[in-house]
Amino acid sequence: MVTGLSITALRHYDDVGLLAPAYVDPDTGYRRYRPNQVDEARLYAALRRLEVPVDAMRAVREHGVGAVLAEHRERLQARADSLTSLIETVDRYMEKGLPVKTRRISQVTIVAEDLPASVAFYRDAFDADYHEEISSFQFGTYPDDDFFLLTVANPQSHPWQGGPAKFGLGVADIDAAHARALAAGAVEIEAPVDRPWKPRSSTVQDPGGNHIDLYEG
């Protein structure tokens, strides 16, 4: 095939108006193409191998091949990112098992008089990501069991008139987590201590006055 396209592909591109033949024999149905159309067909064949959609191929004449490929690369990157995320989820499930839904607290609201200071504190102390669009710190990864939202009271998106909150966080190493929280700007309320009725724990106060009970395990 001179064009690099199968007969089926040529017929399809004719049907969708992408590459119409110069002449179609009424008796045999054979399609005839001008010499300059051969190069165009070869271009479409190359784009087809890259999985460029037909609608994007149509834009080549107006915007050029470079612009079309740049846009297609963004689509491929988005697909790759999505697949990477799926692979990471599969890896977590292989390591920890499939999550089983149980009732548990997954969101707590706190106050923060100085939001930038609180964002820096929870990032440095607990590696928490702050999502401005939902006014929340995120711990863990949804839908895993460690997923937890710490929402900051906000007059627009999350109004709340309460005072400082008190909540607990589980940590792998209480002494290390406690020291890291203090280094990030927390005030020590209670140093790590062992008690017979609960895991080793401690209490710190964040920049907004909220108390955080840290539990090992």
Q: What element of type H or E holds 107?
A: strand 107-110
Percent of all residues in the chain with a pLDDT value above 70, rounded to a whole number: 89
Domains parsed from the chain with CATH numbers: 107-216 (3.10.180.10)
d(Cα 128, Cα 8) in Å, to the nearest integer?
54
d(Cα 27, Cα 39) in Å, to the nearest integer?
27
Taking residue 49's Cβ as centre, other Cβ atoms within 10 Å add up to 9
d(Cα 130, Cα 152) in Å, to the nearest integer?
10
Low-confidence ranges of the chain (pLDDT < 70): 1-2, 98-105, 143, 145, 154-162
pLDDT of the residue at 99? 62
Taking residue 176's Cβ as centre, other Cβ atoms within 10 Å add up to 12
Whose tokens are 């599969």? That residue is: 90
pLDDT of the residue at 101? 57
Using a cut of 0.85, tell me whether the model's pTM lies above it. no
pLDDT of the residue at 1? 53
